[in-house]
Structure 1
Amino acid sequence: MKKKGFYLALIATLLASIVVGVGAYTRLVHAGLGCPDWPGCYGFLTVPDTQQEIAHAESLFPEAPVEVDKGWAEMIHRYVAGTLMLLVLMIVIQAFRNRREPGQPFKLPILILALITLQAAFGMWTVTLKLWPQVVTAHLLGGFATFSLLFLLTLRLSGAHREKVPEKPFLFLRWLAVFSLVLVVGQVSLGGWTSSNYAALACPDLPMCQGQWLPPMNFAEGFDVGQDIGPNYLGGQLHAEARTAIHFAHRAGAILIVIFLTLQMLIALKVSFRVGGSIGSTVRKLMLLVMVMLTVQVGLGLSNIIWSLPLSIAVAHNLGGALLLLSLVAYNYFLFGGALKKSGLNNSLQDLQEIEG
């Protein structure tokens, strides 16, 4: 029965990746208001496409002419997200049935269900508040959080890493891993704020911005989270200098993360080679995975600027951010949650004792 829960969690994780990708596509093709109501589309369960349906829809929403392509982008996102919610509900029911089995997480599935329910509310507010940047950014973060927690649940149900990694000499690596996770979440938030305020092309050149190292910027306006609710934010409402400030901050955050994760990699390599054994090998592999994801993500970010935000690369950049986050979740899970086989742990402890001796 627990194995069934693992497969459900794995399928849900894969489906969550599709939700993140379709959500990014919907935002990038400016289809966030493709349906001006929620949960339907112009009062229909699907997108109105016949002449009669379109005429009826536009009579109900005269300020929002029907654009069939954008409507379908929005509704497909809702359909996939709704399917994910049903799947998470199945996971919760399965977890409840298996709650007495050793190693069966129960609180985590409940948390995921609560989060995805909140996500549905954010989806509604995204439409009713007409793409208010605060809600759009929160909706993106909620999607990334759902994806990450489903991945964590999959790891826990897989049965891997049940033995604890010794606290020494990994304590410092644990703190670095947590801080890296916080930094990446902050960078994802900046990315969401950049996208929701249409600031992705505020700096169209590299390595400078608008031909200057420090162009005119308005951080007060760019990061004013008290923006008024009411106007239609499709296309953005901020002035050019405010958008430049947002984009510049996102670039600075990327540079900070590259520096920090590179230093962490060097420290992780030093510690892992000292310890040796299966634990040291796994630390190196996971850190390598993190750096590969980081390299891909930086490359996608630079490509967005060089080629002026092509749709395919922009969507891949969103998914790349999610995968970088997942790689850090796996790295933290290993350092905090467990080692490999008990024999590997014992061998590594013996290696450590020899080093300390």
Structure 2
Amino acid sequence: MKKLAVFSLALAFVVIILGAYTRLTDAGLGCPDWPGCYGHIGVPQQAEHVAAANAAFPDRPVEAHKAWNEMIHRYFAGTLGLCILAIAIIALVKREPSRPLKLPLALLGLVIFQAALGMWTVTLNLLPVVVMGHLLGGFTVLACLFVLYLRLADPHRSYAGLPLLAAGGIVVLIVQIALGGWTSANYAALACTEFPVCEGQWWSRLDFGGAYSVPPADNYEFGAHDYAERMTMHIVHRIGAVVTFFYLGFVALRLLGGHSRVSKTAPVVLLAVLFLQVGLGISNVVFSLPLFVAVAHNAVAACLLLVMIWITWQLSQAHGGSHG
């Protein structure tokens, strides 16, 4: 199970990167049906299949590059689901006191719900709430797989006694990831083109109620909010980035100050990843959202989450407790 957990963890990281790439290349509706693509297990290639697909979906003619982006993401996500199913089966069949059971079963339920979110992303035409939920679901699967690996690597450590400072850092980071997901799902990443502040009298145009509502629309591709609402999303995400930077930086400095239960490597890694993430966020604005930088911004957010879980795990003090 430990080797399978490591493989699944790496695969989940790849799925998050592919999901970001799919979203940022506007390929979320590259296949307008689910789970196949225009009724096929792969992207239609032959001329008669393409013609039939275009006739069946006249509003969504085949764009092969977008369809392949979407299907490759689905293939990897489906493989991850099968791996998690295998982990749950192993946990049920080979039950041992030191081997977790509840976490693999929870992961299985989570990945099934994540698949449903993937379906709704397509069938509800990129409804922002669903898109953001799908993003958060992917990060949650990644986090749970990492916790599963840590528990298998150190079966005598329990969840009790997690220090509030580090656990609070995870909460702050998750909120910031959610804000970023909402900004991306509503195509607001370039709503402000200047740095460090937004252009013009941005403060007079803030619209929090509109920014965090879901306006009625037949299709949410390329966004349904007006500029002021998107600008508000962007500004809030920037403010969240500042709060997250100072909070996680404070955690790292406290750990460097001599906490004996944490490896000195952990806070150094945290600071390095944190500064990298800030640099990528600034680059997204300054260089107008380059694809590589935007995808890397998602990937490094996942790395930050894993680092915070690693630190919180090291700080846990209770041993020999629950193994659920």
Q: CA offsets per residue over residues 247-273 of structure 1, 9 Å max, x none?
A: 00000000011112222233333352x
Structure-to-structure mapping, 1:9-158, within 5 angstroms: 9-100=5-96, 102-158=97-153
Structure 2 residue 198 is matched with structure 1 residue 209: yes
**Are the counterparts in 2 of residues 202 and 243 from structure 1 also a CA contact under 8 Å?**
yes
Which of 66-75 and 204-213 deviates more? 204-213
| Distance (Å, rounded) in 1 between the aligned partners of 2:225 and 2:122 | 19
Deviation at 1:99? 1.6
**Are the counterparts in 2 of residues 32 and 131 from structure 1 also a CA contact under 8 Å?**
yes
Residue aligning to 2:215: 227
Structure-to-structure mapping, 1:147-296, within 5 angstroms: 147-159=142-154, 162=156, 174-212=163-201, 214=203, 216-224=205-213, 226-228=214-216, 230-272=217-259, 276=260, 279-280=261-262, 282=263, 284-296=264-276
**Are the counterparts in 2 of residues 165 and 335 from structure 1 also a CA contact under 8 Å?**
no
Q: Structure 2 unaligned runs (5+)? A: 320-324
| Distance (Å, rounded) in 2 between the aligned partners of 1:40 and 1:299 | 38
| Distance (Å, rounded) in 1 between the aligned partners of 2:286 and 2:173 | 23
Q: CA offsets per residue over residues 57-102 of structure 1, 9 Å max, x none?
A: 01111111111110111111111100001111111111123322x3
Deviation at 1:178? 1.1
| Distance (Å, rounded) in 1 between the aligned partners of 2:287 and 2:18 | 21
| Distance (Å, rounded) in 2 between the aligned partners of 1:194 and 1:32 | 16
- Pairwise CA RMSD of aligned residues? 1.9
TM-score (norm. length: structure 2) = 0.93
Deviation at 1:214? 3.0
| Distance (Å, rounded) in 2 between the aligned partners of 1:77 and 1:252 | 31
Instruction: Judging by fraction of residues, say which structure has more helix.
Output: 1
Deviation at 1:203? 0.8
Describe the SS at the equivalent of 1:326: helix
Which of 285-294 and 198-207 deviates more? 285-294
Describe the SS at the equivalent of 2:103: helix
**Are the counterparts in 1 of residues 114 and 134 from structure 2 also a CA contact under 8 Å?**
yes
Deviation at 1:222? 0.6
Residue aligning to 2:322: none
| Distance (Å, rounded) in 1 between the aligned partners of 2:287 and 2:298 | 16
**Are the counterparts in 2 of residues 122 and 135 from structure 1 also a CA contact under 8 Å?**
yes
Q: Structure 1 unaligned runs (5+)? A: 340-357
Structure 2 residue 290 is matched with structure 1 residue 303: no
**Are the counterparts in 2 of residues 219 and 245 from structure 1 also a CA contact under 8 Å?**
yes
Q: CA offsets per residue over residues 214-240 of structure 1, 9 Å max, x none?
A: 36221111111x433x51111101100
**Are the counterparts in 2 of residues 34 and 70 from structure 1 also a CA contact under 8 Å?**
yes
Residue identity in the other structure for 1:133:
P
Residue aligning to 1:350: none
| Distance (Å, rounded) in 1 between the aligned partners of 2:35 and 2:159 | 46
Deviation at 1:36? 0.6
Residue identity in the other structure for 1:126:
T
| Distance (Å, rounded) in 2 between the aligned partners of 1:165 and 1:6 | 19
Residue aligning to 1:348: none
**Are the counterparts in 2 of residues 89 and 113 from structure 1 also a CA contact under 8 Å?**
yes
Residue identity in the other structure for 2:37:
C
Residue aligning to 2:300: 320
Number of matched pairs: 319
| Distance (Å, rounded) in 2 between the aligned partners of 1:196 and 1:213 | 21
Residue identity in the other structure for 2:288:
S
Deviation at 1:338? 6.2
Distance 1:165 1:112, change over 3 A: closer
Residue aligning to 1:6: 2
Percent identical pairs in the alignment equals 45
**Are the counterparts in 1 of residues 205 and 228 from structure 2 also a CA contact under 8 Å?**
yes
| Distance (Å, rounded) in 1 between the aligned partners of 2:92 and 2:294 | 39
**Are the counterparts in 1 of residues 160 and 317 from structure 2 also a CA contact under 8 Å?**
no
Residue identity in the other structure for 2:251:
Q
